[in-house]
Amino acid sequence: MTAPVALNVVTLGQPGRLPVIFVHGMAGTAGLWIISYAFWLLEHCHVIAYDQRGHGLSPATPQGYRLVDQADDIERVRQDHAQGPAIVVGYSYGGHIATQWAMRYPAQARGLVVIDSPPLPLAPAQIAELLHGVPQALGGEAAPDGPLVNRIRDRLDDSIRQRRRPLTRMKARLEALRETTFERDVLADVPFADDAYRAIRCPTLLLYATRAGNLAFANRQQKLIPDCRTRLVDAEHDLVTRNTEAVREHLRDFLREVADSPRSDVVQRDRGSR
């Protein structure tokens, strides 16, 4: 395991219930899950959400941003806050972190949910836009054109300008990441090998947007992961914030399936005895 870091973790619900760990996307925070999903799941689940290194209220460590490093972070969160194996839900780049965790810690993976993760490797221009263009746009400075920058620029209307404080915090977080190995580590990510996908034995849900351009990658995962199902939402990549009801319904059905499946418990006991 990599060196531990004091991550900001939010937990809601009874610890004895089904543990569900939420992993946000790049430049996101745990708040995404708390606001839109956690309270809806509390009756049956123990919800755990955390800020990744250099995101939200978690510190920006000098290094430790490789997928294996961040998978280790999930496992530490699970060990500290969950009772037994957990279901991990990852959105966008967070889906890759969750997938790496399921591959790295199979005995602790009760379930895996990947929400619209794009194929690896990410393009250098995408990371440059995130670390340089977005902070400029958030600060009201001139910024180069790009799909992410343009969306932020378009939304900087009067209602958002009244929220300068959270925007300023996001700008500061992204600028702090520039001083770490984040960019180098993320650009070093390579696609997972076919055999690594085949080794995932926990129930897996691929939840993908129809209009985000990632369906070919979803199809590849579907063919390789043994216990896998794919569900589609008629949406863009921001489905977790703009199509929350549809995402909730698919997530609810999957959590119910895993909770009711005796096979998942048998698989975990078998793995734990090896």
DSSP character string of 172-202: HHHHHHTTTTHHHHHHT--PPPHHHHHT--S
Task: Return per-residue pLDDT of the chain as tens, 274 residues.
Answer: 777 899 999 999 999 999 999 999 998 999 999 989 999 998 899 999 999 999 999 999 999 999 999 999 999 999 999 999 999 999 999 999 999 999 999 999 999 999 999 999 999 998 988 888 777 766 655 555 677 666 665 665 555 555 566 677 888 888 999 999 999 999 999 999 999 999 999 999 999 999 999 999 999 999 999 999 999 999 999 999 999 999 999 999 999 999 998 744 434 433 343 3
The 10 Å Cβ neighbour count of residue 234 is: 10
- Strand pairing partners for 90? 23, 114
136-166 burial code (b ≥16 CB/10 A, e <16): bbbeeeebeebeebeebbeeeeeeeeeeeee
Domains, in order of start, for the chain: 9-120+189-272 (3.40.50.1820), 124-183 (no CATH)
C-alpha 90/C-alpha 207 separation (Å) is 10
C-alpha 50/C-alpha 4 separation (Å) is 14
Residues with Cβ within 8 Å of 157's Cβ and at least 6 positions away in sequence, in order, are none
For residue 163, what pLDDT is reported?
Answer: 58
